[in-house]
Amino acid sequence: MNTLSARRRHPLAAFVVLFLALGVIGATYATLGSSSAKASASVAATPEQLVEGQKLFQSSCSSCHNMNGQGVQGSGPSLIGVGAAAVDFQVGTGRMPAMQIGPQVTSKPPIFTQDQIDAMAAYIGALGAGPDIPDPSLYNGDPNDAASVSNGGVLFRTNCSQCHNVAGAGGALTDGKFAPSLRETSTKHIYEAMLTGPQNMPIFNDNVMSPQDKKDIIAYLVQTRTGSNPGGLDLGSIGPVSEGLFVWTIVLGLLIVFACWIGAHTTKASRARVAHFEATTGKDASDND
- Shortest distance, position 160 Cβ to other proteins, whole Å: 9
Q: Which stretch binds other proteins (CB under 8 A): 39-47, 48-56, 108-116, 150-158?
A: 150-158
Task: Tell me the residue type at 284.
Answer: D
- Shortest distance, position 223 Cβ to other proteins, whole Å: 5
- Shortest distance, position 229 Cβ to other proteins, whole Å: 7
Nearest CA to 213 among 134, 150, 169?
150
CB 45 within 8 A of CB 122: yes
Q: Which residues, in sequence order, are CB contacts of 33 under 8 Å at separation 6+?
A: 129
Q: Which is nearer to other proteins, 62 or 242 (CB)?
A: 242
Give the DSSP letter of residue 185: -
The whole-angstrom separation of Cα 267 and Cα 243 is 37
200 lines the binding site for other proteins (CB under 8 A):
no
- The C-alpha R_g of the chain, in whole angstroms, comes to 33
- Shortest distance, position 68 Cβ to other proteins, whole Å: 34
- Shortest distance, position 272 Cβ to other proteins, whole Å: 8
C-alpha 75: how far from chain center: 22
Q: Which stretch binds other proteins (CB under 8 A): 32-40, 52-60, 70-78, 228-236?
A: 228-236
Pick from 82, 85, 124, 167 the residue near other proteins by CB under 8 A: 167
Number of residues that bind other proteins (CB under 8 A): 77
Pick from 47, 74, 109, 230 the residue near other proteins by CB under 8 A: 230
179 lines the binding site for other proteins (CB under 8 A):
yes
CB 189 within 8 A of CB 92: yes
Secondary structure class of 189 (helix, strand, coil): helix
Map the footprint of other proteins across residues 257-276, applying CB under 8 A.
258-260, 262-267, 269-270, 273-274, 276
233 lines the binding site for other proteins (CB under 8 A):
yes
The whole-angstrom separation of Cα 60 and Cα 55 is 9
157 lines the binding site for other proteins (CB under 8 A):
yes
- Shortest distance, position 197 Cβ to other proteins, whole Å: 18
Pick from 48, 227, 275, 281 the residue near other proteins by CB under 8 A: 227
Angle subtended by helix axes 211-226 and 146-159, to nearest 10: 100
- What mask, x for binding other proteins by CB under 8 A, covers residues 68 to 97? ------------------------------
- Shortest distance, position 133 Cβ to other proteins, whole Å: 28
The whole-angstrom separation of Cα 192 and Cα 203 is 10
Q: Which is nearer to other proteins, 39 or 98 (CB)?
A: 98
Task: Tell me the residue type at 227.
Answer: G
CB 236 within 8 A of CB 171: no
Task: Tell me the residue type at 160.
Answer: C
The whole-angstrom separation of Cα 61 and Cα 58 is 6
Pick from 229, 275, 278, 281 the residue near other proteins by CB under 8 A: 229
11 lines the binding site for other proteins (CB under 8 A):
no
